[in-house]
Structures are given as structure tokens and as C-alpha cells.
Structure 1
Amino acid sequence: MIQVKICGITNKNEIDYLNILKPEYIGFVFAKSKRQVTSEEAKQLSNNLDKEIKIVGVFKDSSIDEILEVINTIPLNIVQLHGKEDANFMSSLKASVGESVSIWKALSISDVENIKKYADSKYSDLIDNILIDGDKPGSGEAFSLENICKLLKVDSNKKNNCDLTNSPYSFFLAGGITPENAAERIEKVNPFGIDVSSGVEITNEDGTRTKSFEKIRSLIEKVRAINVN
């Protein structure tokens, strides 16, 4: 079943939408971003979140102490790393958070060497999932999916879908996913899940961007239809 993560949650209205629509994951961004929240803000928002929805904390080049400080405030299910964190860092983080918190490593589609590196099974004890994103996370820009199967060292079938049977990871796909293109992008590379932020946003009259109930609903309905088929 294709999983859905709605990232960049910043306000109570969005929490209310997600409690109704029930994606598998939501993401709070603790890295520098227009969607950045503090741990206290995330805690207040998560207090009203359906307990079946898992919480992902997004970090970029934070220290282990900084990550643990957030976890002490809000009980994250997953730590998602978007920076230059290496295997030694992830090993230390894994030892610090234990088995109760999963670690996802986000990689840019242009970072060929690291995608090939972390797709190797010898890293599967350090990270629980790979997330493949574009060059500008959060920008809403889609990227070519042509080489993903090859980079993940898996075969593709006659439809050019990735065959992840022997891969150590069931990766998440991010970058420019919208309700309109989600089905096509899922069919192309067969990810375990998708990570969407700007693709389900609208611009308010004051120029701020926020998640749209209708866009999230449309996205999740289309993903669920794939799961049924």
C-alpha cells in the first residue's frame, strides 16, 4: 500500500484537515524554511493530532543534541535528515534514539554517489528509509524519474517500474508531487510512499501559503485508488 506523508504542517487548521483525511504521516520542519516550526509549536499542534498518524521531524545539519532536544519535547516517530549527515552521524543518532525512532535519509536526485552509496544493504542497519527529492526541497519542482531504478540498484520491469523486491529500502518519493501527477509518478517508480508539501497548498489573500483540504483530499483519494487496484 502506497503511504502518504503531508509535510510542512504549521497550523491547527491543517491538523484538523489531516485528522479527517488521515494520511499515514505528517511532517514538522525544524530546519530553516518558510514552513519551519519550533518544537513547542509542533508539540501544541501534535496534541490535537490523531494518534494513528505518525509524526516526522525534518532536520538539516542539526547536531544530535539538537535533535534529541526536539524529541524530548515532541515524541517523533521518524527523524528525517536533509543535510550532509554521514554514516558516522547516523550511527551515533541511531544509538541515541534507539529502536523507537526511525531514521530516514533524504537525498537529492542529483546526488548520484550518495544515492548509490545508501542504496547498499550495508547501510540498512543505520537508516530505515531513503527519501528521494529534487535539488530544491519544498520548491514544488518535479524532476525526471528516468534513472531512479538504476540509482537504487534495482531492476525495472517492462513498464519501467522499479522492482524493489531485493532492495534493502522501500523508498519515499518527494519533489513536485501534486494531486494531478501523483498517480503517474507512483506508477513510474513504484515508491513505498510519497512526500508532499507545496503540491497540496494554496495561496491565501494575504500571500501566505497553507495546506488545502480539497487538494489533500484529492491526492489521498487518488493514492488510495492505486492501492485498491
Structure 2
Amino acid sequence: MTQAKICGITTPEALRRAAELRVDYIGLVFAPSKRRVEPEEAGALIAELRGLRAAASEPETADGGSAPQRSSAKPQVVGVFVDPTMDELDRALAAAPLDVVQLHGQESPEFCRAVRERFGVRVFKASSIREDGSGLDADSGGDLQANHAERAEAIAEAYAGAADALLIDTHDPLYGGGSGRTFNWEIIPLYRDAARARGLKLFVAGGLTPDNAGELIRQYAPDGVDVSSGVETDGLKDLHKMTLFAERVALS
């Protein structure tokens, strides 16, 4: 089943709705972005999420008491960073205990491996794709599929054992990702198959909405889909759109 990640959470209201929907991951952005949260803000959101998890794990019994029940621990919390230093990660994770660190810059496999070992977290490594489908480091000429087949194999081989998942996203010249625009989806199977062959999951981001997420999943079957601006109205998370997105992913 394809997993759902809602990124760019900034408010308790959006956090609570994501928890109610039991999406697999929420994303808190620590990198430069209009959705950026400070470590202390992130810590407060994570504390609230832990409270919601605890409440959900203790349903009432017939006599009005509470019965223990193992928590599903959803959503997991992903922190999004772009080319952080280890000191920056130290400060962020001291205030905000994350489940996953998503690295959206030029971080090397060695850096990703060091993050996993130092903080005991999973690592998602993002790679940017231009809207026309070309990779930032791929040959812009020639056959698109051939170029990406080589690029996908190289990235998956490099990050195997250093990351837990790859994420492909439409490049944004200002922030790197979070552009709200799609790329050429025909290249997704190349990255999906290269990742899975090396024990990595593949997440897809970039221009996803409640209207197109189901189509992407049915046609290309990634391991996860990641949305941010596609569930917003006027720059704020829209609880109705979040609900629709989670429902479309679950039904696909």
C-alpha cells in the first residue's frame, strides 16, 4: 500500500487533522521556506502529537475505564533540511525528536550514513527533477528515458545502505523543492525499480493534489506520495483538502 506524507505542517490544527487521518508521515520544514518552523515550535508540535498518540492508545472500556492498546504510532515525523551541518541537526533534534530526517540538498551518502548512525533516525534523500523531466545532473540532450535510467541507477547505488528512501521532487530554484509543480511522471518507474532493487523505498512529490494523487498511484505505484501546497488554500493547510488527499491515497 502506498504511504501518504503531508509536508509543511505548521499549526496544531493541521497536526491534529493529520493524526486523525492516520497518514503515515507529517513533514516539518527546518530549511528556508514559507513553511519553516523553528526547532522549539517543532518540539511543541511533536509533544502534542505524542499526546494524541497516547490518548488514541487508551480507548475506554465498557465500565468507563481505559484499556491498554498498542499505538500505531502514526504519523511519524519527518524533518526536512537542506545541506545542514551536523551542529544544526544536533540543535534541531535536541528540541524536536524526529523519526526521519529528510535531506533535500547535495548531501553525500557518507553524510546520510553519519546522520543515521549519530541520531538513530531513518533518512530520506531527495533528488530534484526539472519540470520537463530532466535531472539537474542528467544530460539534457538525447533520450529522456535512457538518461534517467542511468541517473536512477547511479543515485540508488550511491545511497543504498546510507538512506532508507529516495524522494524525487520537482526542482524549485529558490527552495530546491516544494514548488507545487509536477514533472514528467513517465520516469517514475526508473527510480522506483532502481530504488527497490537496492532495498530503498521511493517517494514522489511535486504538484500532487487530491485530484491527481490517485492517478499517479494507480499508474506508477510508488511506495509513498508527498504533498504540501496541494492541500493548502491561500498558503495555509486546508483540512478538507488534507482529508480528500488521505482518502484518495487510501483508495488507490
Is the TM-score greater than 0.5? yes
| Structure 2, gaps ≥5 residues long | 54-72, 130-134, 139-150
SS across alignment from 1:217: helix
Distance 1:147 1:30 in 2: 29
Match in the other structure for 2:143: none
User: Within 5 Å, which residues of 2 pair with 1:23-102?
Assistant: 23-49=23-49, 50-51=52-53, 52=73, 53-98=75-120, 101-102=121-122
**Quick one: distance in 2 between partners of 1:2 and 1:37?**
27
Normalised by the size of structure 2, how large is the TM-score? 0.77
Conserved 8 A contact 2:2-2:223? yes
Task: Give CA deviations for 1:56-77 in whole Å, capped at 9, x if unaligned.
Answer: 0000011012112211111100
Secondary structure, aligned partner of 1:36 = coil
Alignment partners' CA distance in 1, 2:179 and 2:5: 16
Aligned partners of 2:110 and 2:162 also within 8 Å: no
Q: What CA distance in whole angstroms lies between the structure 2 residues aligned with 1:219 and 1:37?
A: 23
Quote the Cα distance in structure 2 between the aligned partners of 1:140 and 1:166.
29
The alignment-based identity, stated in percent, is 39
The whole-number CA distance in structure 2 between the counterparts of 1:22 and 1:146 is: 29
CA distance in 1, matches of 2:190, 2:224: 19
Question: Larger radius of gyration, structure 1 or 2?
Answer: 2
- Following TM superposition, where does structure 1 have runs of at least 4 consecutive aligned residues deviating by more than 6 angstroms? none
- Distance in 1 between residues matched to 2:92 and 2:42, nearest whole Å: 9
TM-score by length of 1: 0.85
Q: Does 1:116 align with 2:136?
A: no
Give the CA deviation at 1:150: 2.8
Q: d(CA) in 2 for partners of 1:192 and 1:210? A: 26
Distance in 1 of aligned mates of 2:17 and 2:117: 35
Instruction: Report if the CA contact (8 A) 1:119-1:168 is conserved.
Output: no
- CA positional deviation for 1:152: 5.0
Contact 1:104–1:128 (8 Å) recurs in 2? yes
Give the aligned partner of residue 158 of structure 1.
Answer: none
Q: Which residue is equivalent to 2:123? A: 103
CA distance in 2, matches of 1:63, 1:88: 13
SS in 2 for 1:116: helix
Q: Which amino acid aligns with 2:46?
A: S
Give the aligned CA root-mean-square deviation in angstroms.
1.8
The count of corresponding residues between Structure 1 and Structure 2 is 209
Cross-structure match for 1:185: 216
Decide whether aligned partners of structure 1 residues 219 and 37 sit closer, same or farther in structure 2, where only a CA change above 3 A counts.
same
